[in-house]
A and B are shown apart, each in its own frame.
Chain A
Amino acid sequence: MDEDQVAETPWYEHVIPRGRHNLLNILVELSRLFEQKGESFIIIGAFSLLIRGVLTYTVLWDLDLLFKDRESMDKFIEAPKSPEVEIEHLDEELMVGKTISSLHTAWRFTANWFNVDYILLPGDFDFYRANPEEEITLKSEVTFEGKSYRLNLPVATPWDMIVKKLLSPRFERELESRDSLSVDVRHVFHLLSKYGDAPAFWERVAKKAAYLKQSHQVKGNLLRFFSLKDEIGYGQMNLDENLAVMVSAL
């Protein structure tokens, strides 16, 4: 699905103008670290959906870097970075929770700070890399205001993101409470709008849901979303027969 990696409009147009050079420099630096050190992180979350052209609106974005384990995160933190980047740790230490551990940082090359969050989610790194034949590395050359930025980054795929979104307790909770400001529900809506009629997308969703042995839950949460879509402000989404068939097959 190479075409999925190309946004219809440049994704960076949905970043606030004064933050674009900074963000692009950060992505180049992450690309360099990725190439030097191998795959120690994967970009997940909303930013992965932005850079893959799923989300097409402007908000203040964060970069979520998922690490395989604590050791790879520590190595990443210790790895020499460009002398031009300034990094501040916003947390005093890795905050370890029951299901997620995180260290919030802010990076800047220019005057603007950009949030880069380091994340550990047990089992998730392997989930995103469960099919080695799938290419999750996003390569592109961005030219912005006369300057070129070469990107080479491991970025979560949309089919993996929708599975993870649908299975998150927060998605279920916010869907049931009809939370119109729910970020996860909004992301699912945009994923369905872009890929809802793409059989190849649903084949991959089915495979990854099966990998987690959560096919029933993924299907159930999708059907729940469909049943509530009018109430939560997404009534304009078209549910054609093909989509119903593909979801039923999960």
Chain B
Amino acid sequence: MGFRYEVRFSGAGGQGLILAGKVLAEAAAIYDDKNATQSQSYGPEARGGASRSEVIISDVDIDYPKAENIDCLLALTQESCDKYSADLKPGGILLVDSQYVKKLPPGDFRTYEVPITNIAERETGKTMVANIVALGVVTKLSGVVSEEAIRTAILARVPKGTEELNLKAFEAGLEAARGYEDKASGKQKAS
């Protein structure tokens, strides 16, 4: 039986979450030779300001295209954390932007509080690339796709001359997560 890994990116509309999901799925399906689906699906709870994008990655055929047992949840806002953490499986990764998510849900999660938007601003001068910083953290913490595949997928989506900004954001995400990936559990904070 092969592995199946579910990632949910959540936050507010306009934070580039769908794009982050697509880049992750493309890295897996096009450059890492895995099976992957990406979707932006909404249940009734989605009405309001929260938005989400989901990726399923597997080394075998994906039987069912809906993410229901989340291995890794990114929450960029408190609202999205409140709404979308219920499907996070025990032992799963809960990654929150510590600037905006102050109240963490109870549960047996590996929780990482990372100032994602601050890192984007500090390292690139643009909060707009917070989604790419988040992608770096998710890549490092989950290990579900190779870092090189993500770099290639990013480069395939950006025009010439803007590669440096986006790769810098991705590397900043990797760096923020470095040191955490081997820790099995507990609440983690990054600066």
Contacts and interface: CB of A to CB of B under 8 A. Distances in A.
30 contacts: A16-B29, A57-B156, A58-B30, A59-B156, A60-B36, A88-B64, A90-B66, A91-B42, A95-B42, A104-B39, A104-B42, A111-B35, A111-B61, A111-B62, A112-B62, A113-B62, A173-B14, A177-B128, A179-B128, A180-B159, A180-B162, A181-B16, A186-B157, A186-B159, A189-B159, A232-B159, A233-B159, A233-B160, A233-B162, A234-B159
Interface residues of B, number: 36
A183 B26 CA distance: 15
B8 interface: no
Interface string B43-65: 11011000000000000011011
B166 interface: yes
A97 to B, nearest CB: 9
A104 B26 CA distance: 19
A92 B41 CA distance: 9
A91 B41 CA distance: 5
A60 B25 contact: yes
A177 B16 CA distance: 13
Contacts of A60: 22, 25-26, 29-30, 36, 38
B37 A113 contact: yes
A10 interface: no
Contact of A180 (B39, B44, B65, B158): B158
Interface in A199-235: 232-235
Contacts of A233: 158-162
A173 B13 CA distance: 13
A115 interface: yes
| Main SS at interface, chain A | loop
Contacts of B29: 16, 60
B160 A236 contact: yes
A106 interface: yes
Interface of A: 16, 18, 57-60, 88, 90-93, 95, 104, 106, 111-113, 115, 173, 177, 179-181, 183, 186, 189, 232-236
B165 A180 contact: yes
Q: Which of B22, B36, B159 has most A Cβ within 10 Å? A: B159
A106 B37 CA distance: 9
B69 interface: no
Given A60-B36, A233-B161, 9 more contacts: A58-B30, A90-B66, A111-B35, A113-B37, A189-B159, A232-B162, A234-B159, A235-B161, A236-B160
Contact of A59 (B47, B65, B157): B157
A88 B65 contact: yes
A59 B26 contact: yes
B65 A106 contact: yes
Contacts of A115: 37-39
Contacts of B144: none
Contacts of B12: none
> Sorted from nearest, which 10 A-B pairs have the closest CB atoms?
A233-B159, A180-B162, A90-B41, A111-B61, A106-B65, A233-B162, A113-B65, A233-B161, A180-B158, A95-B42
Contacts of A179: 128
Contacts of A234: 159
B160 A95 contact: no
Nearest to A97: B47
B119 to A, nearest CB: 17
Nearest to A186: B159
Contacts of B41: 90-91, 104
A95 B36 CA distance: 24
Contacts of A88: 64-66
Contact of B19 (A57, A90, A104, A181): A181
A92 B30 CA distance: 29
